[in-house]
Amino acid sequence: MTAAAETAALALDAAVLAGEWINTNAEAGIARIVCTSHPDGTMRVRCSGRTAGGEIEDWSEVDAPLYSFTFESRQAGAFSAVFDLGYEEVRMQANVKAGVLVVASFNRFKDDSGRSNYFDREFFHRISKG
């Protein structure tokens, strides 16, 4: 495969994912997700999470590979992202279903705190398009 063909294969339309998403559960671990798509077919994701004390912390922005639902589609419907918070690593997988962003997170603690690794699934509604 040529470099041009490889780039074309990676360029997906991320319009369905782009924008600001708010958690439907005001007490959940991830409060807000902002997905920013770029003309070259890449996307960046910024998350805001809740700490154990309830404060909101910025997890920063990371590259997020895009995925379509079929191999011939040019429409993105899902992404993955990894956030390294120092004390914890959050591996996120997300997809849009019926206008809702469904986020599965796999959370692994790295701080020797004795806390169990855990899985969570959360639902987000879009408040603005990107």
For the chain, domain boundaries: 3-129
Q: What pLDDT, on the 0 to 100 scale, is given for residue 52?
A: 79
pLDDT in tens, 22-77: 999 988 999 999 999 988 888 999 999 998 788 899 999 999 999 999 989 999 99
Predicted model pTM: 0.88
Measured CA distances, 43 to 35, 46, 64, 106 (Å): 7, 10, 6, 20
Three-state secondary-structure class, residue 121: strand
CA Rg value for the chain:
15
CATH top-level class for 3-129?
Answer: mainly beta
